[in-house]
C-alpha cells in the first residue's frame, strides 16, 4: 500500500478495533495520534494491554505514535490536539458501545455518540480534513427482516437507542460532508470478534463462562443469526479506506436518492463476512476449539436485540477491492487460542 504522508487521528485508539488499526498504520510508516478516555465501561487493564502492544509495534516500525487520554466530549482538549498536530485524516472509532447497556444508560450514549460525534465533526470542519472515516453499525438495520442487509435498505426504524445514535451519526456526517465538502465514509460493522475483543461481546462472555464452568445465557434459544466478522478483515477494510477518500456519486439521482451515496463526497458501506452463523452453531464451534462443553441456559430474546444480521458487502469490495473473507472456523480457532493463553487457561 502506498504511504500517505499524512498525520492520522484515531479516536478510540485503546479500543478493540482502534488499537488494531493503529498498529496497521504504524507498520505502514504513518504518524498516528491516538485518543481514548480509557473509561470503565469494561476492564481498563485490557485497554492498557492494547496500548502496550501499540508501543511495542511502534518501536519495531518507522511510524510515529502519540497518545492522549482525553474524551471526545471535551471540545477544549480536542482544540489543543488541533493546535499541536497537523491532522489530515480522521478515523473516528470512539463511542459508547453496547446495545443492551443503552437500554439502562441512554444518557451515556447521548454524550459520547452524539455530543462527542458532533465535536469530531467540528474538528474535521475546522482543520480542513482530507478524509473522514467513522464507525457505524449493523444495528441501524433495526427490525428489517429482508436479508442480506444492503446499504440501499431503509434504516429508519432502529430498535435500540444505540442504533438510533449510529443512524444519527450517519445523518450528521452527511450534512457536514455536504456543507463543508468533507470526504466522509461511514462503515457499518457486523459483529466483530477476535483476540483482544470487547468483554461485553458474546465471544468473550461465552469463552470466559465455558472455561470457568459457568452457565451461559443463550438468548432467543440460540436461534439468533450473526454475520461474525474477524478483526483482521475489519482492520484491513478501514486501512484501505484511509487511502481512498469518499467521492461524489456522479450518477446520483436526486429524484430517486440513494441512501448510501450522495451529491456530496459521502459513502456508506457494510463491512461483514456475508456468511451467517446460527448462535447455537457458533457455541458448538467455540466448545470444540476451547475443548470444554458449555453449560447452557436458554432464554427469550432481549429488548433491543436483532434476530438476524447478514451483510451484503459487495459495495465495499467494489470500492477497495477487498471484503471480509476469514471463515468462522479459522477465526474462532485464533480467538480461542489467544483467549486461553491471555487469561491463563492451560
**Per-residue pLDDT reduced to its tens digit, 67-105:** 999 999 999 999 999 999 999 999 999 998 877 777 778
- Cα pseudo-dihedral 52, 56, 62, 64, rounded to 10: 20
Q: Which helix (H) or strand (E) holds 207?
A: helix 202-211
In whole angstroms, give the CA distance from residue 291 to residue 294: 10
Domain boundaries, the chain: 7-193+229-272+311-325
Please, are residues 117 and 92 in contact by the beta-carbon 8 Å criterion? yes
Mean pLDDT score across all residues of the chain? 94
Top-level class of domain 7-193+229-272+311-325: alpha beta
- Top pLDDT among 101 and 107 is at 107
- The beta strands (E) that lie in the chain are given as 7-11, 31-35, 64-68, 89-92, 131-137, 184-189, 192-193, 215-219, 225-226, 229-230, 266-271, 277-278, 295-299
Supply the pLDDT for residue 222: 84
Supply the pLDDT for residue 38: 93
Average pLDDT over residues 214-219: 92
Supply the pLDDT for residue 219: 86
The three-class DSSP label of residue 303 is: coil
The label of the residue with cell 477491492 reads: 321
Sign of CA dihedral 158, 162, 164, 168: negative
For the cut 90, the answer to whether the pLDDT of residue 16 exceeds it is yes
In whole angstroms, give the CA distance from residue 132 to residue 319: 16
Q: Which three cell numbers stand for residue 93?
A: 472509532
In whole angstroms, give the CA distance from residue 269 to residue 151: 6
Adjacent-strand bridge partners of 52: none
Pick from 21, 93, 15: nearest CA to 49: 15
The label of the residue with cell 461465552 reads: 206
For the cut 80, the answer to whether the pLDDT of residue 246 exceeds it is yes
The three-class DSSP label of residue 333 is: helix
Using 50, 70 and 90 to split pLDDT, how confident is the model at 315?
very high
Catalytic positions are 162
Please, are residues 317 and 223 in contact by the beta-carbon 8 Å criterion? no
Q: Is the pTM here over 0.85, yes or no? A: yes
Amino acid at each position: 500500500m502506498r504511504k500517505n504522508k499524512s498525520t492520522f487521528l484515531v479516536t478510540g485508539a485503546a479500543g478493540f478495533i482502534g488499537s488494531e488499526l493503529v498498529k496497521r498504520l504504524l507498520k505502514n510508516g504513518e504518524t498516528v495520534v491516538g485518543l481514548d478516555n480509557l473509561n470503565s465501561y469494561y476492564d481498563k487493564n485490557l485497554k492498557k494491554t492494547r496500548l502496550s502492544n501499540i508501543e511495542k509495534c511502534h518501536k519495531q516500525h518507522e511510524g510515529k505514535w502519540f497518545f492522549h487520554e482525553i474524551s471526545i466530549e471535551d471540545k477544549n482538549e480536542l482544540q489543543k490536539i488541533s493546535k499541536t498536530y497537523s491532522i489530515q485524516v480522521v478515523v473516528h472509532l470512539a463511542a459508547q458501545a453496547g446495545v443492551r447497556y443503552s437500554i439502562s444508560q441512554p444518557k451515556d450514549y447521548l454524550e459520547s455518540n452524539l455530543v462527542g460525534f458532533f465535536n469530531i465533526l467540528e474538528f474535521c470542519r475546522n482543520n480542513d480534513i482530507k478524509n473522514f472515516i467513522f464507525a457505524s453499525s449493523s444495528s441501524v438495520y433495526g427490525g428489517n427482516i429482508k436479508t442480506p442487509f444492503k446499504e440501499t435498505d431503509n434504516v429508519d426504524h432502529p430498535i435500540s437507542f444505540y442504533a438510533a445514535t449510529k443512524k444519527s451519526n450517519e445523518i450528521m456526517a452527511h450534512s457536514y460532508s455536504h456543507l463543508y465538502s468533507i470526504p466522509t465514509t461511514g462503515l457499518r460493522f457486523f459483529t466483530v470478534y477476535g483476540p483482544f475483543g470487547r468483554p461485553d461481546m458474546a465471544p468473550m462472555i461465552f469463552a470466559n463462562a465455558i472455561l470457568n464452568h459457568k452457565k451461559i445465557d443463550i438468548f432467543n434459544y440460540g436461534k439468533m443469526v450473526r454475520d461474525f466478522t474477524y478483526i483482521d478483515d475489519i482492520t484491513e477494510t478501514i486501512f484501505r479506506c484511509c487511502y481512498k477518500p469518499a467521492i461524489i456519486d456522479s450518477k446520483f439521482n436526486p429524484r430517486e436518492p440513494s441512501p448510501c451515496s450522495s451529491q456530496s463526497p459521502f459513502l456508506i458501506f457494510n463491512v461483514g463476512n456475508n456468511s451467517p452463523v446460527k448462535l447455537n452453531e457458533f457455541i458448538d464451534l467455540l466448545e470444540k476449539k476451547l475443548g470444554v462443553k458449555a453449560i447452557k441456559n436458554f432464554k427469550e430474546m432481549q429488548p433491543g436485540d436483532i434476530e438476524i444480521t447478514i451483510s451484503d458487502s459487495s459495495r465495499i469490495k467494489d470500492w477497495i477491492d477487498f471484503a471480509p473473507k476469514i471463515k468462522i472456523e479459522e477465526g474462532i480457532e485464533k480467538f480461542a487460542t489467544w483467549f486461553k493463553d491471555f487469561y491463563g487457561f492451560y
